[in-house]
Structure 1
Amino acid sequence: MTPPDHLQTPAARRIIVTGCDHAYFELVAELIASIRDHADTAIAVIDCGMTAGQRTALQAQGVRLLAPHIPDYAPRRALAKRPSLAINISKLWLDQMLPDFDLILWLDADTWVQDGQAPERMFAAAQSQTLAIVPEIGAKRADLLGVRWMCPGWMQIRSFLYKNATRARLPFAIRRRIGAKPLLNAGVFCLHRNAPIWPVLRRWQALILPRRHMAFTQDQLCIALAVYIDGLPVTFLDNSHNYIGPWLLDETTGTLANLFFPHAPVGIVHMASQKAMRSGLENTLTIPTVQGGQAAVNLRYGGMRARSAHAG
């Protein structure tokens, strides 16, 4: 159950965490600005290759900088080729990286906060030491499960979890149990530092991470295994708390709206798979509007701010 809007947790020991290299710095700067539009919650950034000037700029805003946590079993060759992979690895160590905070909300660098109540609900959902996360079900996709039909009556499961569990060489009994489950999107999640899931996540990580080609997606697979196989407690929040589309603009309010009626404002915008959008504010996407029209929109915080300013 999603906590009511008025439910807030004590702010003193809460923190929002993200991570970036120099290429994603502009997105992180927009994410921070969007957070500060609504609250003065503490913010930390895992530094995986920012420039000295970028680090100085964040510190001047009171942002805490963190070095990534790279366990001994991490694939060194993959990290040398793509250092930003250390961000995904570090997600499962945040309780140890931030021992002076009780509630830790992770937001990917390509997210931003449109409705300030969304982070509050994430914090509230995690207060009881359950994993607060959004399952990928509902408006995002027409087909809940990827399949390939082999012949009448026979099909092959092609879900994210099944494919990644196969690449991790997990037993078929595990692949069968998670293959048809919804992906738990690790781009947005919240946990109490005393939540029982942390060591379980790292146990799966120690098994999966050394295996070839698993560094990028291991965080989502570990979360799914901890929830679906080990049965660790989880609280699901609706897709507005990690909204990946389909995109809809409410021209009356100038906000991105949920596809589901009554088209409430999206809480946390996640620009997953929007490479062009992330790379420049001049890039736009034509999306429908609540009022029945169409609009060319840049989904970034900076793009939406510029659009509002121009409309005003």
Structure 2
Amino acid sequence: MDADTWIQSGKALTPFVAAADTADIAIVPELHHLSDYLYDADSLPRTRHRHIYGLVYGPETGHRLSMLPVHNAGVFAARASSPLWGLWREEMGTAIVRSQVLNCDQAALNQLLYSRALTAARLPPEYNWVCSAIAPSWDRDRGAFVSPGPLPRRIQVMHITGAALLQELHDIPCHQGGIVSRSLLCPFPQVVLDTRPIP
């Protein structure tokens, strides 16, 4: 788990451990029906991914990989005996030499997964909720962050990336309506401040 993640549920890690017994790696792809950038080939996230992939693997492979879901390396599980570790170490060595970019670990991991060198057990997005991609919602009844939309599910692992790390409080939409001001960084308990009336 990356240092910018935290667990919102005591059950969050159990599926990772169980899934890692069935595949080389248990991981969460950045794939959700509300991810707007998935529907735009020239979106900023896809452009960034294409750039990193292109530095490491060239423009043709970079373009192909950028059009596929990204397996987020911020939260994953693998057995000590998994071939992941040796293959990733080798791929990372090559990737760093080619690109001179330190954060190419995720690009190397995705290349391995899409080249079929590794098998992956994929978990739902709530097990690695990338807040910079889709802002979470707050459920007053559950006292927890949930996925937005008409069928909210409790977020198991919060992953705070990008500018969200620098912002102390965020205006978070409530599942029941209205807005609350909350920190995405701090685990419970927190004081919930309603900043706007419920419509």
TM-score scaled to structure 2, two decimals?
Answer: 0.84
- Verify the 8 A CA contact 1:139 1:259 in the aligned structure 2: no
User: How has the CA–CA distance of structure 1 residues 253 and 148 changed in structure 2, closer, same or farther, with 3 Å as cutoff?
Assistant: closer
**Could you tell me how far 1:225 is from its partner in structure 2?**
0.6
**For 1:235 and 1:159, how far apart are their aligned partners in 2?**
27
User: How has the CA–CA distance of structure 1 residues 275 and 140 changed in structure 2, closer, same or farther, with 3 Å as cutoff?
Assistant: farther
Partner SS, residue 191 of structure 2: helix
**Could you tell me how far 1:136 is from its partner in structure 2?**
0.7
In structure 1, what is the equivalent of residue 153 of structure 2? 264
User: How has the CA–CA distance of structure 1 residues 262 and 147 changed in structure 2, closer, same or farther, with 3 Å as cutoff?
Assistant: closer
User: How has the CA–CA distance of structure 1 residues 276 and 166 changed in structure 2, closer, same or farther, with 3 Å as cutoff?
Assistant: same
**Could you tell me how far 1:187 is from its partner in structure 2?**
0.7
- Say whether residues 1:232 and 2:126 are aligned partners: no
**For 2:112 and 2:48, how far apart are their aligned partners in 1?**
16
The one of 29, 37, 46 equivalent to 1:135 is 29
User: How has the CA–CA distance of structure 1 residues 193 and 159 changed in structure 2, closer, same or farther, with 3 Å as cutoff?
Assistant: farther
Partner SS, residue 306 of structure 1: coil
**For 1:286 and 1:144, how far apart are their aligned partners in 2?**
24
In structure 1, what is the equivalent of residue 189 of structure 2? 305
- Say whether residues 1:191 and 2:78 are aligned partners: yes
- Say whether residues 1:162 and 2:50 are aligned partners: yes
**Could you tell me how far 1:232 is from its partner in structure 2?**
1.3
- Say whether residues 1:288 and 2:182 are aligned partners: no
- Verify the 8 A CA contact 2:23 2:121 in the aligned structure 1: no
Question: 1:87-143: per-residue Cα shift (whole Å, max 9, x none)?
Answer: xxxxxxxxxxxxxxxxxxxx1111111112121011111013421111111155212
- Say whether residues 1:115 and 2:9 are aligned partners: yes
Task: Report % sequence identity.
Answer: 23
In structure 1, what is the equivalent of residue 66 of structure 2? 179
In structure 2, what is the equivalent of residue 75 of structure 1? none
1:12-91 to structure 2, matched below 5 A, reads none
- 2:176 counterpart letter in structure 1: Q
**Could you tell me how far 1:204 is from its partner in structure 2?**
1.2
- 2:148 counterpart letter in structure 1: L
In structure 2, what is the equivalent of residue 215 of structure 1? 102
How many pairs does the alignment contain? 189
User: How has the CA–CA distance of structure 1 residues 241 and 111 changed in structure 2, closer, same or farther, with 3 Å as cutoff?
Assistant: same
In structure 1, what is the equivalent of residue 197 of structure 2? none
Structure of higher CA gyration radius: 1
**For 2:23 and 2:80, how far apart are their aligned partners in 1?**
8
Partner SS, residue 77 of structure 2: strand
User: How has the CA–CA distance of structure 1 residues 117 and 158 changed in structure 2, closer, same or farther, with 3 Å as cutoff?
Assistant: closer
Unaligned stretches of 5+ residues in structure 2: 195-199
Question: Which has the higher relative contact order, 1 or 2, with Cα contacts under 8 A spaced 6 or more apart?
Answer: 2
Partner SS, residue 112 of structure 1: strand
Unaligned stretches of 5+ residues in structure 1: 1-106, 150-156, 278-282
